[in-house]
């Protein structure tokens, strides 16, 4: 693989602790204070600074490096709960992490047969994506993926032990809740006594009924797409196009046809929350639909297993009225539990936060997409301004920021930025722009590029969620179970050190956790060498701490702007603009200086603490 070792100059400037040249002290610019300052918002900051580490649990602890396309669990290996031991958890905690999102914990459709080990058998390959299967095609909401257990019969106990182990190491546990759809083969063998399975009492003669759990196509039989090819050229178990589903059910991505296309979520069926999609989306929410009650019971079940939060898949595909009811219901059982919604419609963010009672929502369409454009040279910093000033104005502390997750391409992939250092300014903004949570995806911190086709995943810059696979650069950090980075090269070690410094600063800084925000773009738009398209700067401040954050997104230009802090910003921070201050770089460990003329190497970021000169 291509080495990630940085040139000496770039390494010292971009990642390591370094000193940068400064010019003489800048005299602050004075200007009248506006009552409605366009450079900030009136949002009252709330400390929601979770630092979330997402891991694809099946892949995290896998030490096997064969990586045979379409390989079996025996050939390619699989990570277990027990691989995530105290050593691994402490290494994650040292990154500054407060929460781990264990992705793919619940039992889902798969081609792997666990009957001999006392577990579930394989699914019909016509309705499974990949040999391992999608963790978002749930086969039993009350059970655990047998792949993840050393002793399959005790898989639930092994998960419970992981929860306790995570808590003992100072972090909290988030798991997926997939409310919109289930596997076509859904049946719960682990449900508590007295629980009726989804669809168990449905009237299948009706396309829609308020208390049906599924939507039906009476008189029609499912036709699986011929181009599914879950194992490519090889024939998979029961791959014959004859999966029997009569009457056919609506497909998970709102396809009301017996013949979903290959790019539909054809392996899943849509759950009915009381919305009649085929008759003007008329709603039937009173009395409370049966699906609502069943899903509440599932959430409560896991809450009582001491889970600390749920990442709710495609939350906007489920009516907001359900969330408004169910989230308070679950919080009656466990008041501190959190709900994170996967959301993509900025026009609905406020509705899902206020009416829907979500704690946090994805900031994908806004900040992620804007930063991605900057990272690939197709955008400007105006995209960041639009996010805080318009899109999430007033509720920025409730938006989850990230640069990678299981749905998105790896930063280091050729399909995205190619160079993992591109994340330095972008991740700094993601982590410090507001008081809301920030997320890291396992392998991101060592520049995992997701090269190669794993099988069902065709090599698109994403780490597969459908196949048994080893994650090569992550495995170098894992180092055979030592979790010490022993096999990383110099550039990877520097990259991980950057993430560690940033996230630890993020999790401990008073100004980042609790502070107000003030953008400095307008104040610097005429500044020499302040290229507003690629340089972004802002203040974060509380009574206890004042920070100046400056980033350069250019991949090839070193800039040397003199940063202007206007009088209105000094006043907002409670500082006297006529006095002198020192600036200490908390991110890179540079010594204090009295100058605001800063050398910005390509792909650099600075977090400068402002203190009165003594």
What is the tens place of the pLDDT at every residue in 131-163? 999 999 999 999 999 999 999 999 999 999 999
Buried b (16+ CB within 10 A) or exposed e, 48-65: bbbbbbbbbbbbbbbebe
Assess whether pLDDT exceeds 70 at residue 15.
no
Name the more confident of 16 and 188. Answer: 188
Distance (Å, whole) CA 494 – CA 455:
32
What does the pLDDT read at residue 10?
A: 33
Q: What is the DSSP string of 73-93?
A: HHHH----GGGS-HHHHHHHH
- Given a cut of 80, whether residue 8 has pLDDT beyond it is no
Kindly state the percentage of the chain with pLDDT values over 90. Answer: 92
pLDDT value at 26 more than 50: no
The answer to whether 184 touches 249, Cβ cutoff 8 Å, is: yes
| pLDDT band for position 11 (cuts 50, 70, 90) | very low
Tell me how far CA of residue 389 lies from CA of 104, 176, 187, in angstroms: 35, 31, 47
pLDDT reading at 28 higher than 90: no
Mean pLDDT of the chain, nearest integer: 94
The answer to whether the predicted template modeling score (pTM) of the entire model surpasses 0.75 is: yes
Write the pLDDT tens digit of every residue in 177-217.
999 999 999 999 999 999 999 999 999 999 999 999 999 99
Q: Which residue has the tokens 């400095």?
A: 520
Query: Is the pLDDT reported for residue 500 higher than 70?
Result: yes
pLDDT beyond 80 at 20: no
Answer for the pair 372, 380: CB distance below 8 angstroms, yes or no. Answer: no
Which domains does the chain show, CATH number per domain? 51-184+287-507 (3.20.20.80), 515-612 (2.60.40.1180)
pLDDT over 80 (residue 242)? yes
Does the pLDDT of residue 16 top 60, yes or no? no
Asked if 126 and 243 count as a contact pair (C-beta separation under 8 A), the reply is yes
Each residue's pLDDT tens digit, 599-614: 999 999 999 999 999 8
pLDDT in tens, 424-445: 999 999 999 999 999 999 999 9
Q: How far apart are CA 262 and CA 208, in angstroms?
A: 25
pLDDT for 3 equals 33
Report pLDDT for 36.
81
The 3-state DSSP class for residue 290 equals: helix
Mean pLDDT of 258-268: 98
pLDDT of residue 169 exceeding 70: yes
pLDDT tens digits, residue range 584-599?
999 999 999 999 999 9
- pLDDT, one tens digit per residue, over 286-337 is 999 999 999 999 999 999 999 999 999 999 999 999 999 999 999 999 999 9
Give the separation between CA 122 and CA 131, rounded to whole angstroms: 10
Model confidence pLDDT, tens digit, residues 36-71: 899 999 999 999 999 999 999 999 999 999 999 999
What confidence category does residue 35 fall into, taking pLDDT thresholds of 50, 70 and 90?
low
Q: Band the pLDDT of 237: cuts 50, 70, 90.
A: confident
User: How big is the CA angle at 143 (ends 215 and 255), to the nearest 5 degrees?
Assistant: 20
């Amino acid at each position: 693989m291509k080495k990630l070792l940085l040139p000496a100059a770039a390494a010292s400037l971009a990642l390591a602790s370094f000193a940068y040249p400064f010019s003489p002290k800048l005299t602050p610019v004075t200007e009248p204070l506006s009552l409605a300052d366009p450079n900030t918002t009136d949002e009252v900051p709330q400390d929601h600074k979770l630092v979330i580490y997402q891991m694809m649990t099946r892949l995290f602890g896998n030490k096997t490096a064969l990586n045979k396309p379409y390989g079996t669990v025996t050939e390619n290996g699989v990570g277990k709960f027990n691989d995530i031991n105290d050593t691994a958890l402490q290494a994650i905690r040292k990154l500054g992490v407060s929460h781990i999102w264990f992705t793919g914990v619940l039992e889902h459709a798969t081609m792997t047969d666990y009957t001999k080990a006392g577990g579930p058998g394989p699914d019909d390959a016509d309705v499974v994506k990949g040999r391992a299967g999608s963790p978002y095609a749930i086969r039993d909401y009350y059970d655990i993926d047998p792949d993840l257990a050393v002793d399959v019969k005790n898989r639930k106990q092994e998960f419970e032990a992981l929860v306790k182990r995570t808590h003992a190491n100072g972090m909290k546990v988030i798991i997926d809740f997939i409310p919109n759809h289930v596997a076509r083969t859904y049946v719960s063998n682990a449900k508590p006594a007295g629980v009726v399975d989804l669809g168990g009492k449905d009237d299948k003669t009706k396309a829609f009924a308020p208390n049906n759990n599924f939507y039906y196509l009476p008189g029609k039989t499912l036709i699986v797409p011929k181009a599914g090819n879950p194992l490519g050229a090889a024939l998979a178990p029961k791959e014959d196009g004859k999966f029997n589903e009569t009457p056919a059910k609506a497909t998970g991505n709102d396809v009301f046809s017996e013949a979903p296309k290959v790019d539909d979520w054809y392996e899943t069926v849509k759950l009915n929350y009381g919305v009649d999609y085929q008759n003007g989306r008329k709603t039937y929410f009173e009395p409370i639909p049966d699906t609502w009650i069943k899903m509440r019971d599932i959430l409560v079940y896991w809450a009582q297993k001491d889970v600390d939060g749920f990442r709710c898949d495609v939350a906007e595909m489920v009516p907001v009225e359900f969330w408004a009811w169910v989230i308070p219901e679950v919080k009656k059982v466990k008041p501190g539990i959190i709900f994170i919604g996967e959301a993509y419609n900025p026009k609905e963010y406020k509705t899902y936060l206020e009416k829907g009672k979500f704690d946090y929502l994805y900031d994908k369409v806004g900040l992620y997409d804007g930063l991605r454009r900057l990272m690939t040279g197709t955008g400007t910093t105006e995209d960041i301004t639009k996010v805080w000033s318009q899109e999430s104005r007033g509720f920025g502390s409730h938006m989850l920021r990230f640069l990678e997750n299981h749905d998105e391409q790896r930063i280091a992939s050729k399909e995205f930025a190619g160079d993992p250092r591109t994340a330095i300014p972008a991740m700094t903004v993601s982590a410090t722009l507001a008081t809301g949570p920030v997320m890291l995806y396992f392998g991101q911190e060592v520049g995992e590029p997701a090269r190669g086709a794993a099988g069902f995943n065709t090599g698109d810059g994403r780490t597969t969620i459908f196949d048994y696979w080893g994650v090569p650069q992550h495995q170098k950090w894992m180092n055979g179970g030592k979790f010490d980075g022993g096999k990383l090269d110099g550039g990877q070690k520097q990259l991980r050190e950057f993430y560690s410094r940033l996230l630890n600063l993020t999790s401990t800084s008073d100004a980042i956790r609790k502070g107000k925000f003030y953008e400095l773009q307008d104040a610097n738009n005429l500044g020499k060498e302040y290229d507003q398209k690629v340089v972004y700067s802002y203040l974060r401040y509380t009574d206890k701490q004042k920070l100046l954050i400056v980033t350069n997104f250019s991949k090839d230009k070193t800039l040397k702007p003199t940063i202007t802090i206007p009088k209105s910003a000094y006043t907002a921070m409670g500082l006297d603009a006529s006095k002198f201050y020192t600036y200490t770089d908390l991110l890179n460990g540079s010594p204090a200086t009295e100058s605001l003329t800063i050398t910005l190497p390509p792909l650099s970021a600075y977090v400068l603490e402002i203190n009165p000169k003594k």
